[in-house]
Amino acid sequence: MTITCRNNQKRRGAMGTEKGAAEAFQAWALTYDQTVSKELERYAGITHQELLDRLLALAQPQNGDPVLDVGTGTGWAAIRCALAVAGGQIIGVDITPEMLTQAALNAEKVGVRERVHFAPASAMRLPYPDDAFAVVLSALALHHTTVSQSLAEMVRVLQPGGRLAIADMAAPSTWRSAPISWLIGLLLKASGLIRNPRTRAEIAAFRQTYTVPEWRSLLAAQGLGKMQVTAILRPGQRFYPGVVLVSGEKGAV
C-alpha cells in the first residue's frame, strides 16, 4: 500500500516555533551535518552516527515496514532505515525546502534515492491518515516544534503495536531550578532582539527541551506503553543540554 498525503493538509505552512526554525535552517542546510556532529560530541560525548545507531535500535524497523521520519532535516535517519531494511515505504518530512534538497542529495550519494521519499510537511500537522506507519521516528527535531502537539500527531499516524523512537535535546535537572528558569525566561524575552535566525531558533527551543521525567509524562499522556527514556549527558556538565533517547509502542501495556 502506498501512503499518500491528505490534500487538505499538504500545503499548510509552519507556525510559531517551527516557523522560526524553518527560517534558521534555510541557510544552515549545507553545513548542518558538520555542526550537529560537533555539538553532539561537545555536549553529549556521542557522534552523530552513534546517535543514529541507537535511534534505529529503538525503532527496530523490519523488512516491509512503512516508516515515517519526522523533521528529517538532511535525511540521515530515513536513509539509515533504507539501508537497514528491504521493502516498505520510507518517508522523510521537513518544513524547510533547503533541508529536503540536501536530504535527497545525501540519499543519492549512498544509493537509496529510489527507496526514500522526501516531502514538505509540519511535524505538528502530519498530512497522513491514522494508523499508517509501523515505525515513526525523529532525530533532533522536536524541540523546534510544540512537542506535545508533534507527539500527538506521530502517535496518530502510528499503527497499533507500532514503534515510536525519538532522539532529541535533553534538559538537565538544573534547568528547573529557580535561578536557571529565571535566566532562560530572560533569554526568551530578549530573543526578539536577536537578528541571527539560528540563535533565535535555538533560544526559542528552550521552551520545548525537557528533562527525563517530563519526557515520561509526555509519552504517558499519549497512551504509549513499553516506554524507554534515557538521557545522555556529559558527567559533571550540569548546565548544558544533552541528548535524550525515547521510545514506546502504541497500544502496548
In DSSP terms, 229 is beta-bridged to: 246
Cα 207 to Cα 28, 164, 198, distances in angstroms: 22, 22, 15
Query: How many C-beta atoms lie closer than 10 Å to residue 134's C-beta?
Result: 21
Q: What is the mean pLDDT of residues 157-161?
A: 98
Q: What nine digits make up the cell of 30?
A: 549545507
Domain ranges, ordered by start, for the chain: 16-250
In this structure, what DSSP letter does residue 48 have?
H
pLDDT score of 13 more than 60: no
pLDDT band at 24 (very low <50, low <70, confident <90, very high): low
Side-chain half-sphere of 168: how many Cα atoms within 13 Å? Answer: 30
Residue type, 173: S
Cα 72 to Cα 122, 166, 186, 208, distances in angstroms: 11, 12, 31, 18
pLDDT band at 15 (very low <50, low <70, confident <90, very high): very low
**pLDDT tens digits, 185-242:** 555 455 454 455 555 556 555 677 899 999 999 999 999 999 999 999 877 666 667 8
Which class does domain 16-250 fall in?
Answer: alpha beta
Instruction: Tell me the whole-structure pTM to 2 decimals.
Output: 0.84
**pLDDT tens digits, 38-88:** 989 888 889 999 999 999 999 999 999 999 999 999 999 999 999 999 999
